[in-house]
Structures are given as C-alpha cells and as structure tokens.
Amino acid sequence: MKRFSILFLVLFGCVSTSTAQYSEFGIMGGVSYYMGDLNPETPFKKVLPAGGAFYRYNFNERLSARGTFTVGYLMGDDSDSKVQSQLDRNLQFESWLFEFSITGEFNFFKYAPGDMTHFITPFLFGGVSIFNFNPRAEASDGNMYELQPLGTEGQGTVAYPDRKKYALTTAAIPFGLGLKLNISKTFSVGLEWGMRYTFTDYLDDVSGAYADPNVIRSERGDIAYELSNQSNLLDETLEGRQRGNSKTNDWYSFALITFSMNLKARPAKCPAYQ
C-alpha cells in the first residue's frame, strides 16, 4: 500500500508538472480586412490595424487549444473599385470588430513552448468565434452615422415587415495557418493568417434590394434616405433594384504577429520517461 501511494504521488506530480509546462499567454498585433459586397474579390484591400491577446494550452507536441480576444477595424468603399456597377452604387462603410474565438491547432512538426530541440513548426487552426460589429458611414454633413438603426434597406419599417434588422453580434468560423518559433525557454513568436466565414451578410450594411426611397425618408428620416442610396439612380426607378448580393455572406480576416510567454518553465521529465 505504501509503495502504491508513493507511485501514485510520483505519477500525479509528473502529470501536474507536465500540464503546467504547456500553458502560454500571449499578445498579437497586425492587420485586418474585409471581403463582401463592397470588396468581393481582393484580399488585403484596405488593411487596418488589429491586435489582441490569447491563452494557449498545449495538450501535447502536436495539438493545442487557444482562446483569443481580437480587435480589428474594417472598411469598404465602392469608389475604390474598378467595377463600374460598384462605382455607380457608390456605398461605403467602416466598423470596429470585437471577436472572441476558441480554436484548435495542429502542429506539422513536434513542438512545445520552451523546447529548443523542437523549436519551430508550421500549423493549421480552426474553430468557432463570436463577434460584434457596427457599420457606420459618413453623410454629407460630415458626421458618421450608425447604419443598422437607419434600416437602409427598409429593415424595421411598416412598409417592409419581412425585412428585419440584422443582429450586430453573430458567429463566424475562423480557420487559417501559421508558424510558431521558440526564441528562448520562456518566449515564443509566431506568424498567422486566418479567414473568418461569417453568418451575416451585413458587415457592410449591404445585402439585398433597394427599398422605396419615400418609405425610407418618411419612416427613417433624411439621413437614412441619403445613406441608403449614394448612386445617381432616380427615386422612381430605385425600388427593387439589386443593392447587394444576398446569396453570399461576408468575410473578414486577420494577419498577425504573435508573442507569447510560457507561464511556467519546462520541468525536468519524470525518471520513468527519460
């Protein structure tokens, strides 16, 4: 019984220290960008600053899980397009984006933080995220206005009861690839690029068809009327025309440099496993 107790304590101690060695806390910085109705095809267009923090737990030398909070800024503008239909539409938006994600990571090579033998690996990641956004646009008076409350496509108006206001907090599927590198037994750096497929088509406040401008003006006011249509189309020809592509959801992306610290130094291996 005494021998069993000693063996249990040794094994428990090994497991406990092994668990501690794999925890990391890190920060990240880089850029964010958006793809959707106002930028349907071009990655890394209108990149803007992004940053965040993360906690990573490494189960072993191949698999890890990470919780991340990231902040970015997104922007899109039809006037930057080379497509005539976008130039004619002439819409624009910008938005802060706040994301919390939980992702799993797979290392191609054996890797552990602080291990200077297995010190570098490319990796893939994927998971789920929740994010908040709030598109805004500048009106002719020089002020920025939140677009969702204005119902620029008739959302929330009596005349269009089937058009509901879109949620400003929703989910996304993050996935991507990166590279991890130990620079000492305490610190690691990394590079990563990830896309987010979102469950909304309204990052840019553009999705469906134009509403009747008279309805927008009467129920939402002059600012909503102005920001719902920035083109030269006449009011009487506008209703029902395509404003966006409702068949595809929007995307956003982060390209980041990471810097992390091991929360505890790597302990010596248990004698039984040396």
The pTM (predicted TM-score) of the whole model is 0.87
76 has pLDDT over 60: yes
At residue 190, φ and ψ (nearest 5 deg) are -160, 165
Query: How does DSSP assign 14-48, residue by residue?
Result: HHHHHHHTTEEEEEEEEEEEEEBTTBSS-TTSS-E
Cβ within 8 Å of residue 85, ≥6 positions away: none
At residue 140, φ and ψ (nearest 5 deg) are -65, -15
> Using one digit for the tens of pLDDT, what is the confidence trace for 19-45?
444 799 999 999 999 999 999 999 999
The token pair at 120 is 């570098």
pLDDT for res 97: 98
pLDDT for res 17: 42
> Using one digit for the tens of pLDDT, what is the confidence trace for 168-227?
999 999 999 999 999 999 999 999 999 999 999 999 999 999 999 999 999 999 999 999
pLDDT for res 32: 98
E strand or H helix at 4, and its extent?
helix 2-20
Mean pLDDT of 157-164: 94
CA–CA separation, 139 and 166 (whole Å): 21
pLDDT for res 270: 54
Domain borders along the chain are 23-135+164-200+246-268
Range 23-135+164-200+246-268: architecture per CATH: Beta Barrel (2.40)
Query: How does DSSP assign 64-127, residue by residue?
Result: EEEEEEEEEEEEEEGGG-S-HHHHHH--EEEEEEEEEEEEEEEESS---TT-SSS-EEEEEEEE
N-terminal to C-terminal alpha carbon distance within the chain? 26
| Residue among 171, 170, 138, 135 nearest 153 (CA) | 135
DSSP conformation class of 12: H
